[in-house]
Amino acid sequence: MRINAQILIVEDEAAQQAVLAYNLTSAGYETVQAVDGDKALQLIEEQLPDLILLDWMLPGTSGIEICRQLKVRKDTQAIPIIMLSARSEELDKVRGLETGADDYLQKPYGIQELLARIKLQLKRTRPATMGAELQHDDLRMDTETQRVWYADREITLGRREYALLLALIEQPGKVFKRVTLLDQVWGREFDGETRTVDVHIGRLRKVLSQFGAEDVIRTVRGSGYALY
Ligand code: CA
């Protein structure tokens, strides 16, 4: 199972929305779509996307305002935002306003250009989705071939256990809430209980300990799990 990055497209023009969704899906991304700012914020509450394409001119809350809000929120400020705007004056304004957007593109832009900019952002924030090799102490994961090693011995993991470990290794030391792991590994459509996470963490620990990797995953009481 390849872990695909999820991109939220916020664009009020149906034709542009469709073109973006089509091209991003073809490039291997999962997409979520919003036609206005309020819907975008609502989707973000449900699940944090890995990247946001944000149109400047939107009905209701503007793209600029959404960008500002997200960049001051602790849980959303690290999500890369690429602003899309129709005119160069708007683009100048976006830059001048220091909204905290990570990148800007002026319409009409080439899809290859957009895909390149997206890649650049995700390589930084979600290396696990970009086929990178991740390492933490003796633990190593190749996200391209989906192979895992501990102290150079290869480990075979179930698909959920693999995805859990991948989430944890991307940000070692970070405490992941069960509900976050549930979203990230099982997806937002999954209507399961957080207890499911405990079961699979248990399985993952068991396999790791067979390879001498004891206490790699720490339980943080009342919060969740972290890689140590
Ligand atoms: Ca628009």
CATH number, domain of 119, equals 3.40.50.2300
Lowest mean pLDDT among 30-39, 40-49, 88-97, 171-180: 88-97
| Pair 140, 103 in one domain | no
Taking the centre of ligand 1 as the mean of its atom positions, its distance from the CA of residue 33, in whole angstroms, is 13
Count: domains in the chain: 2
Mean pLDDT for 166-187 is 90
Supply the pTM of this predicted model: 0.81
| Pair 199, 189 in one domain | yes
Share of the chain above pLDDT 70, in %: 94
Taking the centre of ligand 1 as the mean of its atom positions, its distance from the CA of residue 126, in whole angstroms, is 28
Residue 82 to residue 78: CA distance in whole angstroms: 12
Would you say residue 47 has pLDDT above 90? no
User: Of 103, 129, 155, which one is at a domain's C-terminal end?
Assistant: 129
Residue 180 to residue 194: CA distance in whole angstroms: 9
216 located within any domain: yes
155 located within any domain: yes
CATH number of the structural domain spanning residue 173: 1.10.10.10
- pLDDT grade for 202, boundaries at 50, 70 and 90: very high
- pLDDT grade for 190, boundaries at 50, 70 and 90: confident
| Pair 38, 117 in one domain | yes
Would you say residue 79 has pLDDT above 50? yes
| Pair 184, 110 in one domain | no
User: Of 75, 107, 129, which one is at a domain's C-terminal end?
Assistant: 129
User: Of 129, 144, 179, which one is at a domain's C-terminal end?
Assistant: 129
The C-alpha angle 84, 88, 89, rounded to 5 degrees, equals 110
| Pair 115, 182 in one domain | no
Domain that holds residue 177: 131-227
| Pair 52, 148 in one domain | no
Taking the centre of ligand 1 as the mean of its atom positions, its distance from the CA of residue 10, in whole angstroms, is 9
180 located within any domain: yes
Q: Where do we find the tokens 């002026």? A: 106
Taking the centre of ligand 1 as the mean of its atom positions, its distance from the CA of residue 125, in whole angstroms, is 27
Taking the centre of ligand 1 as the mean of its atom positions, its distance from the CA of residue 117, in whole angstroms, is 20
Q: Where do we find the tokens 């996470």? A: 197
204 located within any domain: yes
Show the DSSP H helices in the chain as ranges.
14-26, 37-46, 63-72, 88-97, 111-125, 159-170, 178-181, 195-210
81 located within any domain: yes
1 located within any domain: no
147 located within any domain: yes
Question: Do 103 and 83 form a contact (C-beta atoms < 8 A)?
Answer: yes
Query: Buried (b) or exposed (e) across 151-161, using 16+ Cβ within 10 A?
Result: eeeebebeebb
Taking the centre of ligand 1 as the mean of its atom positions, its distance from the CA of residue 11, in whole angstroms, is 6
Residue 125 to residue 37: CA distance in whole angstroms: 23
| Pair 93, 14 in one domain | yes
| Pair 140, 125 in one domain | no
Mean pLDDT for 116-145 is 92
Which residue from 36, 40, 39, 37 is spatially nearest to 8, judged by alpha carbons? 40
The pLDDT score that the predictor gives to residue 96 is 58
36 located within any domain: yes
Mean pLDDT for 121-146 is 91
Taking the centre of ligand 1 as the mean of its atom positions, its distance from the CA of residue 221, in whole angstroms, is 45
Residue 222 to residue 208: CA distance in whole angstroms: 23
Taking the centre of ligand 1 as the mean of its atom positions, its distance from the CA of residue 157, in whole angstroms, is 45
Taking the centre of ligand 1 as the mean of its atom positions, its distance from the CA of residue 52, in whole angstroms, is 15
Taking the centre of ligand 1 as the mean of its atom positions, its distance from the CA of residue 24, in whole angstroms, is 19
Which residue from 228, 125, 225 is spatially nearest to 175, judged by alpha carbons? 225
| Pair 11, 50 in one domain | yes
Taking the centre of ligand 1 as the mean of its atom positions, its distance from the CA of residue 172, in whole angstroms, is 39
